[in-house]
Amino acid sequence: MSTNYLTMKSDYVTVESGGLIDSSGFGYSAGSGPGSGSGSIGGSHASPGGRASSGTQYGSIYWPDKPGSGGGYGAGGGWLYIVTGGHMIVEGTIRANGIGSLSSSSGGGSGGAIILKSLFLKGYGTIECHGGLCSTPGWFPAVLISGHITLVKTLSYPLRKSNFLRTWFSCK
């Protein structure tokens, strides 16, 4: 399943080993969006895009509401919101990555947004939301890590001090 905005509501969700929910590259197209980059500049989202001296950061770190912006070359990651009334088991992969290229002077798209809301989240799968690869002559290839991942638990005892576990990454 691939899409730019996906809302999924179910009693239980299982992503089996080898299974995939993928919104990579389905955010804003290259060079567009609130944090767009151009040329070798990566798209911004939770943090400034790669090689950007500054960037328009947008979206709440607590409840992201927009997909990733496009960089000079690649599209941003899409927006995924998955809600369960019971368990969520992730043995496969859930991702909303930006798209990039190792060709010269290409800015990758920013990572999108993933919101998972469930009583319990378990499994040994992968949940990822990073920016696309980019490369500029004289630079090593880089991964632009600028998407949002928000995990919201609806039961209060697994995380004793908070009802929210928020994870966001940034790297230039």
Domain locations along the chain: 1-172
Distance CA 72, CA 78 (A): 17
Name the CA radius of gyration of the chain, rounded.
16
Report the sign of the C-alpha dihedral through residues 63, 114, 49, 107, in that order. negative
What tokens does 159 get? 């995380």
Tens place of pLDDT for every residue, the chain, 172 residues? Answer: 556 788 999 999 999 999 999 999 999 999 898 888 888 788 888 777 666 655 678 888 788 889 999 888 889 999 999 999 888 999 999 999 999 877 656 788 888 999 999 988 888 899 988 888 766 555 544 545 467 788 886 654 443 333 333 333 333 2
The dihedral region occupied by 132, where left means phi > 0, alpha psi between -120 and 50, and beta the remainder, is beta
8-state DSSP, 164? E
Report the sign of the C-alpha dihedral through residues 38, 42, 47, 51, in that order. negative
Its pTM stands at 0.81
